[in-house]
Amino acid sequence: MTDPIAEACPIVEVLDHVAGKWSIGIIVAAADGPVRFTELERQVEGISRRMLTLNLRKLERDGLLIRTVYPTVPPRVEYSLTDMARELYTSLTGLLGWAERHRGSIAQARAAYDAGKTPAAV
Amino acid sequence: MTDPIAEACPIVEVLDHVAGKWSIGIIVAAADGPVRFTELERQVEGISRRMLTLNLRKLERDGLLIRTVYPTVPPRVEYSLTDMARELYTSLTGLLGWAERHRGSIAQARAAYDAGKTPAAV
């Protein structure tokens, strides 16, 4: 039996959506506990205020982030991962580890390719 | 000591690059052994000939795919994963599993959000 909601959301689309560089940065930054907008701005390197706002809204909409507003003056807003996002973070750490181990090799492969050699010929 | 090549290639950039939906589709399709262009075209759903060509070149340049040309008439071209890509595939399967398990919840969270409820209020 097919689930129409699930079918509407193919796996690669889901991944493409959540595995964007800003989404990953935000999820990693929020992994240790609730974070505020200004902390995210500092921790997600290179993100603009506008892109941070858009990505927070996207992740909230996807059910990955919970936005909590505390009625202080001024109101304090915190973002935290849902259980589903916490599970995603676990998978992402594998991918982040891979990227960390291999980014040097990737840069070298690119340099070799651009110099006219294919990796197979190196 | 910092490695200038590695430093030039930040982790999130690497991930953003390899975790795109077409890259993932190609890597998954090539995981079981060498594949030909036409097989990839069939297996990576929705990809255009042009996007497939561009992404194959990108993955070859990154050192993730090896392109082998056999001197038959017409020449036969096959793409296979490098060891580095095979390791990436292992990490990707975790992420694919997550996406498969949760795509229904994500679609539901989106519907709830669009109906004006935040996930926290559901």
Distances (CA, A) of A77 to A33, A38, A83, B75, B109: 13, 10, 19, 61, 20
Choose, out of B1, B9, B70, B86, the residue to mutate when testing the contact with A (most A CBs < 10 Å): B9
B38 versus A6: the higher-pLDDT residue is B38
Q: To the nearest 5 percent, what fractions of chain B are helix, strand and coil?
A: 60, 10, 25
Q: How far apart are CA B26 and CA B38, in angstroms?
A: 12
Predicted pLDDT of residue A91? 87
Burial of A5 (0-12, 13-18, 19+ CB in 10 A): middle
Of the candidates A98, A104, A110, the beta carbon closest to that of B6 is on A104
The residues pairing with A36 across neighbouring beta strands, listed in sequence order, are A78
Residue A120 has pLDDT above 80, yes or no: no
Residues of A with Cβ-Cβ distance to B100 under 8 angstroms: 11
**CB-CB under 8 Å, B120 with A96:** no
Minimal-distance CA residue of chain B relative to A121: B66
pLDDT band of residue B73 (cuts 50, 70, 90) is very high
Domains, chain B, in order of start with CATH, read: 4-121 (1.10.10.10)
What six digits make up the tokens of B74?
Answer: 């017409």
Closest CA to A56 of A67, A45, A46: A67
The dihedrals phi and psi of A77, each to the nearest 5 degrees, come to -115, 130
Range name among A48-52, A57-61, B92-96 with the lowest pLDDT average? B92-96
pLDDT for position A117 = 63
Angle at alpha carbon of residue A69, lines to A68 and A71, rounded to 5°: 145
Residues of B in contact with A70 (CB under 8 A): none
Q: Closest residue of A to B106, CA-based? A: A62
Backbone angles phi, psi at B36, to 5 degrees: -95, 160
Q: Is the pLDDT of residue A24 over 80?
A: yes
In total, the C-beta contacts within 8 angstroms joining chain A to chain B are 169
- Residues B6-49 pLDDT 10s: 444 466 677 767 767 788 889 999 999 999 999 999 998 889 99
| ipTM (interface predicted TM) | 0.76
> What is the pLDDT at residue B48?
94
Is residue B86 predicted with pLDDT exceeding 60?
yes
- Out of A60, A109, A120, whose CB is closest to B118? A60
At B109, which amino acid appears?
Answer: A
Q: How confident is the model at residue B58 (pLDDT cuts 50, 70, 90)?
A: very high
Search chain A and give the residue with CA nearest B12. Answer: A21
Give the per-residue pLDDT at B24. Answer: 86
Mean pLDDT, all residues of chain A:
85
Residues of B in contact with A62 (CB under 8 A): 106, 109-110
Nearest beta carbon to residue B105 from set A19, A63, A109? A63
Q: Of A15, A64, A98, which is closest to B99 when you measure between CB atoms?
A: A15
- Tell me what pLDDT residue A3 has: 46
pLDDT tens, residue by residue, A53-109: 999 999 999 999 999 999 999 999 999 999 999 999 998 888 888 988 998 899 899
State yes or no: pLDDT of A48 exceeds 90.
yes
